[in-house]
Structure 1
Amino acid sequence: MEKYLSLSGNHSSNKRSLEGLSAFGSLEELILDNNLLGNDLVLPGLPRLHTLTLNKNITDLESLLDHLAEVTPALEYLSLLGNVACPNELISLEKDEEDYKRYRCFVLHKLPNLKFLDARKVTRKEREEALVRGSFMKVVKPKASSDHVEAPPEHPYTPLPSASRDLTNHRGVLGKCRYVYYGKNSEGNRFIRDDQL
């Protein structure tokens, strides 16, 4: 009886199917990293599975967590690193530590038996927060309207003059600037006396 199975890095252009896993009813550890499985992932019932890694696979977190709660009741160790659904400031500049905390809280709300999430131990404080606030930590994104789609700007703003944008052209750029001071209390007129005018 197999208790450990690793199917990492099995990319293929064909549709990926995990139907064969139903033959491994006593499976306890399953590694499916970097398989591009997508959001339509369907696992068979694996009642003894306690460790699952799905790094670099999915984008829809909620449907995955609902599915895992149903088919893996003994799950204690879960890793979702590298997925779009797992916010990480190293992968996306728009994400920060607060996004990751909300993500952990939501996952623990859906899967309260987890002991480790993404190689970090689940703390008592996280578990308590998940009980109280976990259902509110779901990140909801507005759906893009098909009626009004903004076209990206042709040339994004740059503070540099256009002559300095060419990386192969290393010339300096020279420009003129004239400063004019108005008013008797301006910085330029402070030390000028009437007889010096």
Structure 2
Amino acid sequence: MACEVSQDDQIGEALLIRVVRHEVMRVAAEGNAAPPALPEDQPISNSQDQMLVQQLAETIKVIGDRLDQDQAFNDMIDGLVKVADKSSFWKLVEKVFTDDQINWGRIIVLFYSVGKLSAKMVLAHLPRIVSDILTLCLDYFRRNLLEWIRKVGGWINSIASLAHYSFERDFGSSSSLISLSSGVLFISGVLLGGLIVWRLNRCA
């Protein structure tokens, strides 16, 4: 019997809010900055979907750690903070989806970049911009990314793809967004093991 299709819009919203909240609260605590008011991610009643959100959040942390080591990425985020308005988000979208091609890596990079940009806005004492950027990203997700996610089978199919995701393949080694010298990012077997358990539980 086929697995039930997950609520991909709910998973995406919960994931994005969780990523932004994590990055904002982390820098607020470290820099003694006042965090902006952010929405709570709505609890997902399905325990398997909730586990998937958690695994994806952990995956984004791993990818984020690698992105944070890249100077071009940090320079790009710092440049967007200087814009300090809603257009910062649209400039970010242009960087990530420069050729209008969608894939899991770019979606995850967008989510992490929005979290990173939001955190930098807090440090720059521009908390009012954070909620605007989050709202714009949620709207962009629903209008431009959600249909693609559904067509490729939902968020459940993202972890296996991200396990051997190549930044250089999708952005190019000379990209203004990503210039990581390491082409392949390996996500730990714990996440893939969790994926297998998730599938078994969903299909039971």
> If the length of structure 1 is used for normalisation, what is the TM-score?
0.24
The structure whose Rg is larger is 1
Give the structure with the higher percent helix: 2
Higher relative contact order, structure no. (Cα contacts within 8 Å, ≥ 6 residues apart): 2
